[in-house]
Structure 1
Amino acid sequence: MDFVIYGNTQLSPCMLIMNASPNIRQYSVEPLYANNERIAELLVGKCVARLQPNQKLAYKCWDSSEKSQAIAIKLGLSEVVRMWTMYTKKLVDPAHIDKAFCPAKAYQILEQVRKLQLSDCGEVHEIRESVDWPTYIHDSEVIMNIDPNGQYVAQDIDTGKLLGYLCGVNITEDLAYIGSYCVRPEYQGRGIGKALWDKTIEHLGDRNLGLVSSEQNTFEFYRDVRNFRYISDRSVIVMAGPLTPNPQLIDNIDGISLVSIDGHNVRDVIEYDKHVSGLDRSVLIESLYKIPENINLLAIDDHGHVMGYCFINEKNMRLYYVEPLYADNERIAELLVGKCVARLTPNRRLEYKCWTSSEKAQMIGTKLGLSEVVRMWTMYTKKLVDPAHIDKAFCPAMHEIWGSVGWSRYIHESQVIMNIDPNGQKTVGILVWGKHHYDLAYIGSYCVRPEYQGRGIGKVLWAKTIEHLGDRNLGLVSYEQNTFEFYRDVHNFRRVILMAGPLTPNPQLIDNIDGISLVAIDGHNVRDVIEYDKHVSGLNRSVLIENLYKIPENINLVAIDDQGHVMGYCFILETINGVYSVEPLYADNEHIAELLVGKCVARLTPNRRLKYRCWTSSEKAQMIGTKLGLSEN
């Protein structure tokens, strides 16, 4: 039997299954099952009557069913294509094909593999839960900030349903991690996982790839088929169980004080973490201690030196996990974790990870009343990667991939505040904020749908956000005169010039400077650029810069003197609407700044629209904008 598809642009369907193809939005009748053609026609006719006119409709039927084809013709549809059903062993037909007027597409899933979008995050959590994986709040959003192109989903192109997910994140020029490889159980065995894997590996390239495996069959598969042949002699033991008080836990140590991590000591914790892990995880630590639900303690000796620290974090299933727990010795580690868990209510379920090579760490888990539930192997494709001081890592940071590189401060320190229209179930307003420091915060994305403006929604959003931000120094950006005056006069914000225009070549731009070389930012010099940025901005923006230079569409240059010192750097970024933006442009003087931006814009095709921001107080910066042919907006 042939499979006939009818369609035109006049009507809409019965089951109201929307086609989620990126290029076509349509409705599909499937399934339409009935005891006879009159009931089938009644059903689909009444369903169609509920829809707006002029929607695109797809309707499938067997070529053997003239009655079903007659229904399609009555709907005003015409044949567009025929499809054949094919099998490798035997034919499979509905048990009562005479009642299948428009069969369901259960036998065939046409999927596309694409990059994850923010709107997919909720459904990705559903996929993880469908395979009994615990999910961490904001997993996907965090990874997106570390590697914007590192997450992929498989999507049914007809229904829009997400079927599978895999993330592969580039950490450095030669290291990447893979995790969260999952496909909904009912769609497994159809090649969806392989398609996700192939797309992810294409993104990761020739880096050393790492992953964690906890099951023997998947361990052997990754080792033998995917070539993860570098396997640590140490595996990770996962211990878990209900928290039970134990009076035998160490209660105090002479010369050791425990305090909470705060803005005054967090830099010391970060330096200690660098020493133990061998990585710069400043964003991770700064994010963790600011999340009010997290429990933390820091161990300090009589000289004020950090001797260890511990975090207890909450998963989305009311499960708490110790991660990380770093300390100079097992007694300090036991003291830290014991005092942290004492802050939890009894019978909470706790998870604790430790290396098989550390009997001392395992003993702490046993004292907490936990027992082993699973072991995990760390596997790599080229070489093993271990913490710099593994003897101090009593409970390593195994929080998927981002635990090793830090979290984006804009995810865990930002909230989205929404007002919901109770009738339409629609978001009508949003205000996003970010706490960057204990005395600094920024406000942005302040917007209300036009049809809901003037109803006090914005005022409610503003008041709630200001309540949270407290007495910090608040910053924002405004480019319209009326909003500028409003923030200045009403909300006490005490201006940045935005210059824009089509890019026009200017031969008067500085072409070279003796003793200054320009090179692209790469894995060899990015740390120097980060240190220079810290010096200029006073902030640690390592994740920002490491993300920016890895995006191939971005243009960048760094200026270096004869001694190899960074003298400035520049990025040109493409915005969503195709406009290019110069940001940031930092330099020791205006000549280097002009050289950097001039050479960067020279790589753009002519007549591209360019944006450039500068302070009203800097005539030199404004002059560069003028030389670029831009004018103040």
Structure 2
Amino acid sequence: MTTSLADQIVVRPLRTDEVRYAVEIWKEQNLEEGMHTLQLWHMTDPEGFIGAVDKDTGEVVGSCAAIRQKEGLYFVGLYAVRTELQGRGIGMKMWDYAMKRVGDSNAGLNAIPKHLSTYRDRAGFSHVAPWNTWVYASPWKDITLNKLVPVKDYSIILRRVYPGDDETLGLLVDYDEKVHNFCRERVIRTTMDDEDGILMVALKGADNAVAGFGKISTNIQGGALVGPLYADDIVVARRILRSLVSDFAPSTVTVTAFAMDGNPDSCRLCEELGLQRLMAVPRCYREAGVPQADFGKVFAHHTLNFSLF
């Protein structure tokens, strides 16, 4: 590759067989994501997965995502360039492509603290949410499952959801809509229908109404990644989290979760588990007026790259 590297790069949507390179690039940045998360989200919005590809070799050297959440709203993430090629104009080409896709719509992103001023003051994401996402993680030796001893509430039943259970996935779609205040049927049916990890649903009452659900996945950095975890309250969330972590072998390496201080019980739950608070991640939007989620039900984000909550 020559010094005029950006001129050798074409920016376009990534094909299905190229998504694995975006996983490699993200892993190279020492950032977390679920083992199959990128492939599953690519299925929901393939045009939103943007890649920087070398015209001569076909090598994918950068990635960025602009995923449609609903009409008029996108989420931007997965923004990374191979380490040895950073600072050579590739990232800006992808950013411009992503912003063209967003157009006049609103969009959100998670800004690590050192880049907050860039997004807020220079890139047009001037509306900073009054809450932060918090990255929590700890090795297994620090995990305190005994602190998640559930209250004896025999009206709550936990059930594992297996791939292909369309009926239960439909119930999760309905519950997720209560969390986000808009329907994410394609997202839930696709990203929860995964061979990796464990998906649990909490059912409550005589009619077995959904009181929450949660997923734990293999982390590309090793260990386990919790998310999403949505529940009616911390009692239900505690039951789900204990089951997920105790039943998933990769948890015995490390456990990571993305909590939010917009729901203090979200952070409290992570700390009960023995996770250490590592970093605050501000949320930025281009415009105000984002659909107001039910923060009281959000105990761990679905993903920091593709989802509002």
TM-score (norm 1): 0.44
Alignment of 1:450-461 (within 5 A): none
In structure 2, the residue matched to 1:250 is: 149
Partner AA of 1:270 in structure 2 = V
In the alignment, structure 1 residue 307 sits paired with structure 2 residue 211:
yes
Alignment of 1:280-429 (within 5 A): 280-303=183-206, 304-345=208-249, 347-385=252-290, 387-401=292-306, 403=307
Residues 279, 404 of structure 1: 8 Å contact kept: no
Partner AA of 2:73 in structure 1 = L
3-state SS of 1:247 partner: helix
Alignment of 1:433-472 (within 5 A): none
Residues 281, 404 of structure 1: 8 Å contact kept: no
Distance 1:347 1:386, change over 3 A: farther
Aligned-CA RMSD value: 2.5
Separation (CA, whole Å) in 1 of partners of 2:158 and 2:41:
32
Summarize deviations over 1:279-300 as a string: whole Å, max 9, x none: 3233344345543432232222
Partner AA of 1:325 in structure 2 = L
Residues 165, 183 of structure 1: 8 Å contact kept: yes
Q: CA deviation at 1:249?
A: 1.7
Moved over 6 A (4+): none
Residues 168, 176 of structure 1: 8 Å contact kept: yes
In structure 2, the residue matched to 1:259 is: 159
Partner AA of 2:180 in structure 1 = S
Partner AA of 2:212 in structure 1 = G
Q: CA deviation at 1:138?
A: 4.6
Partner AA of 2:257 in structure 1 = Y
Aligned mate of 1:206, from 104, 118, 123:
104
In structure 2, the residue matched to 1:274 is: 177
Alignment of 1:523-602 (within 5 A): none
Question: How many residues end up aligned between the 2 structures?
Answer: 299
Summarize deviations over 1:45-92 as a string: whole Å, max 9, x none: xxxxxxxxxxxxxxxxxxxxxxxxxxxxxxxxxxxxxxxxxxxxxxxx
Separation (CA, whole Å) in 1 of partners of 2:43 and 2:252:
35
Q: CA deviation at 1:374?
A: 1.3
Q: CA deviation at 1:364?
A: 1.2
Residues 230, 384 of structure 1: 8 Å contact kept: no
Q: CA deviation at 1:245?
A: 4.0
Q: Runs of 5+ in structure 1 lacking a partner?
A: 1-104, 406-633
Separation (CA, whole Å) in 1 of partners of 2:234 and 2:255:
19
Distance 1:293 1:356, change over 3 A: same
Q: Which shows bigger deviation, 170-179 or 140-149?
A: 140-149
Distance 1:256 1:150, change over 3 A: closer
Residues 25, 61 of structure 2: 8 Å contact kept: yes
Residues 230, 381 of structure 1: 8 Å contact kept: yes
Q: Which shows bigger deviation, 205-214 or 306-315?
A: 306-315
Partner AA of 2:121 in structure 1 = D
Distance 1:314 1:113, change over 3 A: same
Partner AA of 1:314 in structure 2 = T
3-state SS of 2:147 partner: coil
Distance 1:143 1:342, change over 3 A: closer
In structure 1, the residue matched to 2:118 is: 221
3-state SS of 1:361 partner: helix
Distance 1:398 1:242, change over 3 A: same
Separation (CA, whole Å) in 2 of partners of 1:305 and 1:142:
27
Residues 113, 152 of structure 1: 8 Å contact kept: no
Q: CA deviation at 1:108?
A: 3.9
Distance 1:374 1:140, change over 3 A: same
Separation (CA, whole Å) in 1 of partners of 2:205 and 2:68:
41
Separation (CA, whole Å) in 2 of partners of 1:360 and 1:271:
23
Residues 35, 196 of structure 2: 8 Å contact kept: no
In structure 2, the residue matched to 1:197 is: 95
3-state SS of 1:296 partner: strand
Distance 1:290 1:248, change over 3 A: same
3-state SS of 1:227 partner: coil
In structure 2, the residue matched to 1:554 is: none
Residues 201, 213 of structure 2: 8 Å contact kept: yes
Partner AA of 1:150 in structure 2 = G
Q: Which has the higher contact order (CA 8 A, sep 6+)?
A: 2
3-state SS of 1:274 partner: helix
3-state SS of 1:279 partner: coil
Distance 1:127 1:301, change over 3 A: closer
In the alignment, structure 1 residue 147 sits paired with structure 2 residue 45:
yes
Separation (CA, whole Å) in 2 of partners of 1:354 and 1:211:
16
Summarize deviations over 1:323-380 as a string: whole Å, max 9, x none: 1212222112112211221213463311112211333221211111101111111111
Distance 1:333 1:192, change over 3 A: same
Separation (CA, whole Å) in 2 of partners of 1:164 and 1:350:
27
In the alignment, structure 1 residue 241 sits paired with structure 2 residue 138:
yes
Q: Which shows bigger deviation, 370-379 or 385-394?
A: 385-394
Residues 178, 211 of structure 1: 8 Å contact kept: yes
Residues 9, 90 of structure 2: 8 Å contact kept: no
How many percent of aligned residue pairs carry the same amino acid? 24
Residues 242, 369 of structure 1: 8 Å contact kept: no
In structure 1, the residue matched to 2:77 is: 179
